[in-house]
Structure 1
Amino acid sequence: MNIQEIHKQFLESSGVSTDTRKIKKDSLFFALKGENFNGNSFAQEALNKGAKLAVVDESEYATTDRIILVKDVLKTLQELAYTHRKYLNIPIVALTGSNGKTTTKELINAVLSKKFKTVATQGNLNNHIGVPLTLLSMSSDTELGIVEMGANHQGEIQSLCEIATPDYGYITNFGKAHLEGFGGVEGVIKGKSELYLHLIGHKGSLILNLDDPIQHKRVGSTHTYTFGKIPEADLAITYALAEPFAHIKFGDTIVESNLIGQYNEVNLAAAAAFGSLFKIESSAIKEALESYIPSNNRSQLIKNKNQTIILDAYNANPSSMEAALRNLATTHSSYRLAILGDMFELGEAAAAEHQFIANLAEQFNIDQIILVGANFSKTQNEALCFKSTEELLEKGLPEAVQSKLSDATTLVKGSRGMALERILNLLEIK
């Protein structure tokens, strides 16, 4: 069965399933493989649970005419996504970057959905499997797609672009994320810029932050729609942090968001630029941005009388950690507490980058610093250190810190694997 025939079956199905625990009736089951599982062995189970067809790449599992044998299930899934994207023939917006991808994607979706029937990446399904699944979740009713692209090594964004073939693109920033896979900051810049190169080669358009000199330098001659503090930008933006929430202004429109921190101003501005590019009324852009509430441990604001907790435990790298610390230092609070967890995927730079953040935290106007994790525990500092989240949970906060929580502003930030949201009970006022 060729890809066109599989696509015909897909159009008559309820969608794609990859997990037999979540089988949709009349779906196509793709038997993907992982380090610890072989999806081929679940093909018959998928059919028993209601799947219409199953796609496998090992002949011993192709036991019925409802099981399609292909050379490579993952590649077939990607080819199906590409075929479906071409079949729909709708505008696709792609975005990548080191920090702020998911928040910016959610903001762009909130704005563009004011005018279009949109489908956007769910959560952070932004890799070689997530991008195809996002494209395959779009239907004939979809008018515009928004695809987040993540990467931890060079060549990955290029591969994702070949599947999604975006018409519009945006890179949030180039920062110190996934240094191990990219081989340093220059590798990050080169890898993320693969989105720009794709757009240039396919005569697409990119949204460009004129306030970012690195991006400005790498764009070249491709078509751009610009935003920034420069009056010559297509959408001139005024940034005006109104603690604790980020505000922006464009034209006569002031956006008062529910997002914490100055670093979120650019994310708001990018979404406003997309709205302006797609000719959405300023009032609708304002409504969309102001109604967005962050969730999933991303810059969540938790208030309890005079206590404020900024929970940002979904992801962390040196660039986002520095931005969060700078924001904490500017808050008007009688007691500032930073609880910082290890940053992952830094490779050989791990020791130096953790020491850099430990030094930076001590330079800022922060009353108490608590460092958590194997890497932070090895740094030279005057902070309280715990080797793991489990050790912090077991030992608890010192009484001197506990007594200040009622009037504190507390930043909780670390990589996903640290699961620092588990310590929230330690921050309850006794």
Structure 2
Amino acid sequence: MNAASFYSTFLQCDKVTIDSRNISKNDIFFAFSGETYNAALKAEESIKNGALAVIVEDKEFENAEKNIFYVPSTLQFLQDLAVHHRNHLKIPIIGLTGSNGKTTTKELIHAVLSQKYSVQYTFGNLNNHIGVPLTILSIKPEHEIGVIEMGANHQREIEFLCTLAQPNIGYITNFGKAHLEGFGGYEGVIKGKSEIYTYLKTENQTILINENDALQVEKIESYEPKITFGSKTSDYFFSHYSSDNFVGLQYGDEKVLSQLTGEYNFTNLCAAVALGFHFGLNFDQMKTAVKSYTPTNMRSQILEKNGKVLVLDTYNANPSSMVESLKNFAQFEGSKTIIIGDMLELGKESEVEHQKIMDLAQTLKFDEIITVGPIFKGVNKNLGAYESSVQLGEYLKINPISSKNILLKGSRGIALEKVLEFIN
């Protein structure tokens, strides 16, 4: 069986899933198997629960009469089916990658374009070799635009994901110090993320470029077609606008304030609005989207708790995003405590980069600096260094933070959000 022969069956399904716990009537279940678990064991049960078909890579479980089909690799077949579906889609696909801000930018683009179009986009953080094909396969006939986030921590991953998504418009949010271990240093990050540019240039597709980013300008040079923002000579120019710790933008005489904090989110807003203009939206439509978008994914969230202002940015962290978060938080009015967690996947640069963050934090003169994780503990010679979020939580039970403003920022593996319940 191949993707072409299975495609008519796929077109009849409601959704594709790789989670046997998430099967509804008329779904197609791809039974991925790991080292310790064979998902094909759930094939018969999935059909009984209403699955339209099940794809297994264990021939023992094949039963064509029940629509349980064998393929040598469920992953390869998922990707092949996604490419086959993508080749039948007649809608523009926007692909984006970058070191910081991918998910927020993707969600802002979705919020803006949804004011006029039916838009399908990457759900959550499903931005890898499994998540991208799942997103492609979730695009239905009623959708008019697709927005696909592409993540990577090694060379050639973005190159591969582009062959799946085949974006018509591509954007790199920025080049930052993320996944240095996998990419082989900062130069490796630049090379890896730029793979989307290589694809777009080869296919003569459109590049969205922030002309305030010298690296983006250098990589693109005089390439066309492109959409530009950032400078006064760009296609679209926006001025920075902020109020009460929230960031917004101004276009001509019109202003809009978002519910996001951090100057770094200004660029994310600009990218979304620039694409909105490109697709024919007016600024009033986009103002509605920007004002109503609320971050709920532990990225740049501002919460209030018992009179305290909490900035929750605990989904991910790397040196570039940490620097921007600390500088932004330093501008808040009133007393300030930072709780910063280890930045993971930095390889041999890890200790040096953590020390730089500690030095910056001390320079910014926060009222209290608390670190979580063994790497920060190694460079934090002062009090307030904890091995884990659980350990910090135990401390906070009897030693509450008195500051009016509290920042929580760290890598996903540190799970700083666990501390929230102990902040009173």
Q: Does TM, scored on the shorter chain, surpass 0.5?
A: yes
Deviation of residue 53 (structure 1)?
1.3
C-alpha contact 1:358 1:381 (8 A) present in aligned 2: no
Which residue of the partner structure matches residue 389 of structure 1? 389
Alpha-carbon distance in structure 2 between the residues aligned to 1:379 and 1:40: 48
C-alpha contact 1:241 1:261 (8 A) present in aligned 2: no
| Length, aligned pairs only | 422
Which residue of the partner structure matches residue 359 of structure 1? 359
Which residue of the partner structure matches residue 257 of structure 2? 256
Alpha-carbon distance in structure 2 between the residues aligned to 1:35 and 1:58: 13
Matches within 5 A, 1:102-113: 102-113=103-114
Which residue of the partner structure matches residue 148 of structure 1? 149
Q: Is 2:393 the counterpart of 1:409?
A: no
Deviation of residue 350 (structure 1)?
1.5
Question: Which amino acid in 2 is paired with 1:76?
Answer: F
Alpha-carbon distance in structure 2 between the residues aligned to 1:41 and 1:190: 42
Which residue of the partner structure matches residue 223 of structure 1? 225
C-alpha contact 2:246 2:259 (8 A) present in aligned 1: yes
Which residue of the partner structure matches residue 347 of structure 1? 347
TM-score w.r.t. length of structure 1: 0.95
C-alpha contact 2:396 2:423 (8 A) present in aligned 1: no
Secondary structure of 2:227's aligned partner:
strand
TM-score w.r.t. length of structure 2: 0.96
Q: Is 2:293 the counterpart of 1:276?
A: no
Secondary structure of 1:235's aligned partner:
coil
Alpha-carbon distance in structure 2 between the residues aligned to 1:26 and 1:342: 43
Matches within 5 A, 1:23-42: 23-42=23-42
Matches within 5 A, 1:182-261: 182-220=183-221, 221-228=223-230, 230-261=231-262
Deviation of residue 195 (structure 1)?
0.8
Deviation of residue 299 (structure 1)?
1.3
Deviation of residue 64 (structure 1)?
4.2
C-alpha contact 2:175 2:190 (8 A) present in aligned 1: yes
**Structure 1 residues 175 and 383, CA gap change in structure 2 (3 angstroms):** farther
Secondary structure of 1:125's aligned partner:
coil
Alpha-carbon distance in structure 2 between the residues aligned to 1:289 and 1:160: 29
Secondary structure of 2:309's aligned partner:
strand
Alpha-carbon distance in structure 2 between the residues aligned to 1:383 and 1:211: 40
Alpha-carbon distance in structure 2 between the residues aligned to 1:2 and 1:418: 42
C-alpha contact 1:368 1:383 (8 A) present in aligned 2: no
**Structure 1 residues 30 and 427, CA gap change in structure 2 (3 angstroms):** same
Unaligned runs of 5+ in 2: none
RMSD, aligned CA: 1.5
C-alpha contact 2:97 2:151 (8 A) present in aligned 1: yes
Question: Which amino acid in 2 is paired with 1:262?
Answer: E
Secondary structure of 1:285's aligned partner:
helix
Q: How high is the sequence identity, in percent, across the aligned residues? A: 44
C-alpha contact 1:315 1:415 (8 A) present in aligned 2: yes
Question: Which amino acid in 2 is paired with 1:37?
Answer: Y
Q: Is 2:419 the counterpart of 1:419?
A: no
Secondary structure of 2:324's aligned partner:
helix
Alpha-carbon distance in structure 1 between the residues aligned to 2:397 and 2:214: 42
Alpha-carbon distance in structure 1 between the residues aligned to 2:236 and 2:315: 31
Alpha-carbon distance in structure 2 between the residues aligned to 1:247 and 1:306: 24
Unaligned runs of 5+ in 1: none
Secondary structure of 1:240's aligned partner:
strand
Deviation by residue 1:205-246 (Cα, 9 ceiling, x = unmatched): 011000000111111424211001x21010011113323000
Which residue of the partner structure matches residue 379 of structure 1? 379
Matches within 5 A, 1:124-163: 124-163=125-164
Which residue of the partner structure matches residue 90 of structure 1? 91
C-alpha contact 2:247 2:262 (8 A) present in aligned 1: yes
Question: Which amino acid in 1 is paired with 2:417?
Answer: E
Deviation of residue 380 (structure 1)?
4.2
Which residue of the partner structure matches residue 62 of structure 2? 62
Alpha-carbon distance in structure 1 between the residues aligned to 2:345 and 2:304: 32
Deviation of residue 305 (structure 1)?
6.2
After alignment, is 365-374 or 27-36 more displaced? 27-36
Which residue of the partner structure matches residue 2 of structure 2? 2
Deviation by residue 1:299-341 (Cα, 9 ceiling, x = unmatched): 11112464211011111111111110000111111x1100001
**Structure 1 residues 192 and 410, CA gap change in structure 2 (3 angstroms):** same
After alignment, is 81-90 or 128-137 more displaced? 81-90
C-alpha contact 2:63 2:69 (8 A) present in aligned 1: no
After alignment, is 9-18 or 104-113 more displaced? 9-18
